[in-house]
Structure formats: structure tokens, C-alpha cells
Amino acid sequence: MEFSIRPHYDLFIDGVRTSAHSSETLECISPLTQESLFRFPDADAEDVDRAVKAAQRAFVTWAQVPARKRQALLDACADALVANVDRLAWLETTNCGKPFRESHANVLVAAERLRYYAGACRVLEGTLLPVTRDITSYGQRTPLGVVGIIGAWNFPLNMFIGKIAPAIATGNTVVYKPADSTPLTTLESAELLAAILPAGVVNVVTGRGTSTGAALVAHPGVRKISVTGSTATGRRVMEGASSTLKRLTLELGGKNAQIVYPDADLDRAAQAIALGAFLNQGQVCTAGSRILAHSSIAAGLKDRLRDLIARLRIGDPFDSTSQMGTLASKVHFDRVHDYVELARQEGGKLVAAERQVRVEKYPRGLFMAPMLFENLDPAGRVQREEIFGPVATFSEWSDERAMLDEVNGVEQGLAAGVWTRDLAQAHAAAQAIESGRVWVNCYNLFPSGAAFGGSKASGFGREDAFETMFDFTEVKNVIVDAGTTWRNFYD
């Protein structure tokens, strides 16, 4: 199975491929071969302005489309993704290096997100407040206007679809900037959606975050910015948006803990902990990379993890037996490698035997074996900073209060896992952990309708849930006096 990639991609504005005003282009490099896949524009402020104006024109009519019609169109968009699932999954794996079976599942998850918001927008209601017999106050939710969205590189298709779904479902129009290392499936799927949605509802501009992204954040015609990225990116976006008082949703980094209590099912926990730490080669904001096991069961859990890590199949991502593929870019590969060296400098001991990964078909592929370190200082950089790669740490605890202090001792607060058969204990731990999501006896499940987002330096706002639509609307209050004579209400 193989599909074609164009040697050059344009911007996607007002429903069509559009040449950029900027003459600057960027190159997308394959993480499998280190060869060029295609080139695409590094859009400038004028390009962003054209996209915003197209979205503004589209908003005039799109905001008036009834919810039942938007529902039908979003359902049709989901159908289009499913009909192209093999092609989109192939493109995603080619651009990102993740296993094809994961990319295939990601397309279906994206379609499900569209279907969720297609239905949810039908029941987004206002409020009615009878004041007196003649006077009524009511609130209605209205779309904001043009929404600027900046996506991350680790799940490009899911990011694109999952972020635009609540925005367009509530009547907004979108200008979307994908990550400059993985824009392929965003550009391709935008064309699929354009055959269904009115022109200008969804626009895509490509380029660097420091240029294209900054122009989008600063544009006065954009009413809201939604970003997934690092904590440092979130700080820059807040600064850039401050002058125009834009609304913000920031889904930022995480340094997430998985806590294992003495009564946990260790076989089940080990399987899910490995998945939580190494899914998508650890390139997940919710990666459960800090494993904290009670001292009474630490040795048994460590043995299980060591065995699982040794048996993880790393190889050709198009091979159905591969469980791990490549990291997404050489720049990121080198960054993760630097953290591995730092772990050794900070006294880390490798739990699993170190192994070199060579895949005959892709000798230059950015493959990296999963690693689990122990004996690291909780105050050290490796234990406190997000690595975003297949690197996890293991530590033991005996005092629960001290352990929870360690869990909460990092600046981020995105996600955590708790492993115990005692549900009372699980609930207590979930309340004590400072994070936006806590999984109990599972990890990395993302059902539609379950609010996802962080606390502290992991950002603010919630995604994937019904209440996400609130962030893309504002409440307009209308007070009506149906009486026939004037009265002073305060008499």
C-alpha cells in the first residue's frame, strides 16, 4: 500500500489551494529516510491576513447556518475521513514515523470527534429567566467569529480535526496553522473537508511558529487562539495575544506520574504503564514517564517492566507487527538523546538492557529504543522536565504524603495514573494530585465528552468535551419587557 505526495503544497484559503505571498518555503524531511518529502510555504503576515479575511467573510453566513445543518455537514466530514482512512494513515505514518496501525486508529478517533460535536451542537442551549410576569431575561450562546488554532506535531491529524470540530460546530470559522514538521495530513484532509464545508470555514496556513504563528496570534481579526504546545510556547502566545485581549485555550506540556500502590494488579499495571510511557515513542503530552512504585511491590513491577521493554518490537512502522516507529524529526531525536546523556550525568541507572535499533529497510531512520532509568534525584532536570520521548524514570516510595508531594512538585499538572484495587484510596489520590486528568487502573484513554486539559503550567481550558463549546461561544443576554406601560423596575 502506497500513496502519492505532491512535491510542493500550497496554503489552503477560501476553499482552494492558494499560492503564498511569501517566497520563503520550508522542507518536510522524512523521519524514516532523512530525505525530502515535499516543500511548503513559510507564510508571512500578509498570507495570514488573507486567510483571516476569508474566514471573516465565511463567518457572516456560517454563523447563521442552523445547528441541524451543521450537524449534517460535520457528519459528512467524518464520513469522508473514514472513506480515506488508509490514505490518511499512510500519509501520517510517512510524515511522523509512528506505526501505521496507530495512524489508522487516529483517523477513526478524529472522525469520532467530528461526530461527537455534530451531535453536541444540537443541544447547546441558552438560559431563560422570568423576572416578572411581563419581563423575561434570556441568554443565547453565539459564536465568537474567527478562531486561530496552532497545532502540535505529534498527532497532526487528530490535532487538526479535534480542535476545529468544536469551533466550527458552534458556528465559528477557523484559520489553522499546523506544526512546521508535520503538516501533511492537515493539508490533505483540509481538501477533503472543503468538498463539504462552505469556502472559508476552514483555512490552513503553514510556516514557523515564530513567524506565521506569531502573525496569527497578533491578528486583530482573530477572536480566540487555541494552542497545543510546550509551556514555553504557551507563555509566548499569552504575551502575543495580550494586546488584543483574545480568549485563549492552552494545552501545554506535562511531566506525568504513574503511582502504583501495594495492592495493584501488577501484570495489568505493567502493561498499561509501558503503553502510557512509550505510546507514539513517548511523544505524547500525557506520557506517564514518572513511575512511582510502593517499595513493597517495586521489585516485582520493575521486573515486569524490564521484560516488557525488552520485548517491545521497534521497526518498520508499516509492518503490522511493529509496536514502535521513529521519532518525528532529527531535531527532536537529538533533543531526546541529550536528555538520555543528562540522565546518565545525573546518576541514572538503566533498568532495561540498552540496545541499538537498526532497521534494514530504513538505515537512517530515527529509531530509539525505550529506556527506563532509576536512582535519579527528584529535584534533577530529568525528573522535572518534559522529555517527550521514549525515556521514563522509576522510583520507590513508602510514605504516601511525601510521594504525593513529589508528584505535585513539578510545575506542570496535566495528567496522572493511579494503580490500586482500593477505590476509596484511588479517589483520595485523585483529589490530592494536581492535574487536569487522573486515570485509575488505565492510561491514555481519551473518550469524546471527557474534558481534557491541564492545571498550573500545563495550561488552561478544556478540550474534547461538551463544555469545550462554551469556550468557542459567548453569552448574549436579552431582556424583554412585554408590558404595555412603562414602569420603574426599582419602585
- For residues 207 and 141, membership in a common domain is answered with yes
**Burial class for 315, CB neighbours closer than 10 Å (0-12, 13-18, 19+):** buried
Phi, psi of 479 (to 5 degrees): -115, 125
Q: Give CA–CA dist 268/15, Å, rounded.
A: 48
Q: What pLDDT score was predicted for residue 486? A: 75
Strands (E), 398-452: 412-413, 415-419, 437-440
> Would you please indicate which residues are annotated as catalytic (active-site) residues?
251, 285
CATH code, 122: 3.40.605.10
Answer yes or no: is 23 within a domain.
Answer: yes
Nearest Cα residue to 373 out of 396, 356, 345, 392 = 392
**Burial class for 478, CB neighbours closer than 10 Å (0-12, 13-18, 19+):** exposed
CATH code, 268: 3.40.309.10
Q: Which three cell numbers stand for residue 380?
A: 534533577
- 328: Cα separation from own chain's centroid: 15
- For residues 309 and 185, membership in a common domain is answered with no
Q: Give CA–CA dist 155/452, Å, rounded.
A: 15
Q: Give CA–CA dist 150/177, Å, rounded.
A: 5
pLDDT per position in the chain (491 positions), as tens? Answer: 789 999 999 999 999 999 999 999 999 999 999 999 999 999 999 999 999 999 999 999 999 999 999 999 999 999 999 999 999 999 999 999 999 999 999 999 999 999 999 999 999 988 888 888 888 999 999 999 999 999 999 999 999 999 999 999 999 999 999 999 999 999 999 999 999 999 999 999 999 999 999 999 999 999 999 999 999 999 999 999 999 999 999 999 999 999 999 999 999 999 999 999 999 999 999 999 999 999 999 999 999 999 999 999 999 999 999 999 999 999 999 999 999 999 999 999 999 877 889 999 999 999 999 999 999 999 999 999 999 999 999 999 999 999 999 999 999 999 999 999 999 999 999 999 999 999 999 999 999 999 999 999 999 999 999 999 999 999 999 999 888 887 776 65
What range defines the domain where residue 263 resides? 257-440
**The model's pTM:** 0.95
Say whether 28 sits in a helix, a strand or coil.
Answer: strand
Q: What pLDDT score was predicted for residue 132? A: 84
Nearest Cα residue to 44 out of 164, 183, 218, 248 = 218
Provide the number of structural domains found in the chain.
2
Answer yes or no: is 2 within a domain.
Answer: no
Q: Which residue has the cell 531526546?
A: 336
Are the C-beta atoms of 143 and 66 separated by less than 8 Å? Answer: no
Answer yes or no: is 163 within a domain.
Answer: yes
Q: What pLDDT score was predicted for residue 126? A: 83
- For residues 309 and 190, membership in a common domain is answered with no
